[in-house]
């Protein structure tokens, strides 16, 4: 199944306003330190990178590690400068890649 994501960005904001962005994506975030019931090591499978761009300009980036919970939930802030698109990208082990984007209207 494709990874589902919950993204919260205000639909409208005033120019210069600080806005809060919240993202959560479904992912097991398997640490690589656990073993299966039969004793086999379970390979690491995590999201390693997250980035957010605002009209093509990167405004936030995070590197994630095995200690992060399943379904990483990130909250960050930015200044609403102009109308346009916020794009989110998650990448990780086993070629994991997910992208989503949200429009914002700034007046």
Partner 1 sequence: MRAARGPVLAAAFLFAAGAAPAAEVPLPERRSGYDFMGPQTRGMQDDDMANPGMLSVLDGAAAWERKTGAAGKACADCHRDARQSMKGVAARYPRFDEATGRPIDLEGRIARCRTERQQAPPLARESRELVALAVYVAHQSRGLPVEDMVEKDARLRPFLEAGRSQFERRQGQLDLSCAQCHNDNWGKSLAGNPVPQGHPTGYPIYRLEWQSVGSLQRRLRNCLIGMRAESYEFGAPEYVDLTLYLMWRARGMKIETPGVRP
**Residue 29 binding partner 1, by CB under 8 A:** yes
Give the count of residues interacting with partner 1 (CB under 8 A). 17
**Residue 77 binding partner 1, by CB under 8 A:** no
**Residue 71 binding partner 1, by CB under 8 A:** yes
Stretch that binds partner 1, among 18-26, 38-46, 76-84, 85-93 (CB under 8 A): 18-26
Q: Among positive and negative, which fits the CA dihedral 45, 50, 56, 57?
A: negative
Nearer to partner 1, 12 or 34 (CB): 34
Between the two ends of the chain, the Cα-to-Cα distance in Å is: 38
Alpha helices, H only, the chain: none
Distance CA 86, CA 3 (A): 18
């Amino acid at each position: 199944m494709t990874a589902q994501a919950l993204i919260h960005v205000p639909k409208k904001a005033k120019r210069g306003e600080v806005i809060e962005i919240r993202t959560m994506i479904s992912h097991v975030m398997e640490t690589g330190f656990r073993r299966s019931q039969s004793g086999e090591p379970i390979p690491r499978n995590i999201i390693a990178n997250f980035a957010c761009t605002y009209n093509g300009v990167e405004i936030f980036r995070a590197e994630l590690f095995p200690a992060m919970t399943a379904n990483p939930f990130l909250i960050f802030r930015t200044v609403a400068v102009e109308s346009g698109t916020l794009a989110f990208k998650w990448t990780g082990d086993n070629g994991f890649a997910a992208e989503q984007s949200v429009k914002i209207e700034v007046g």
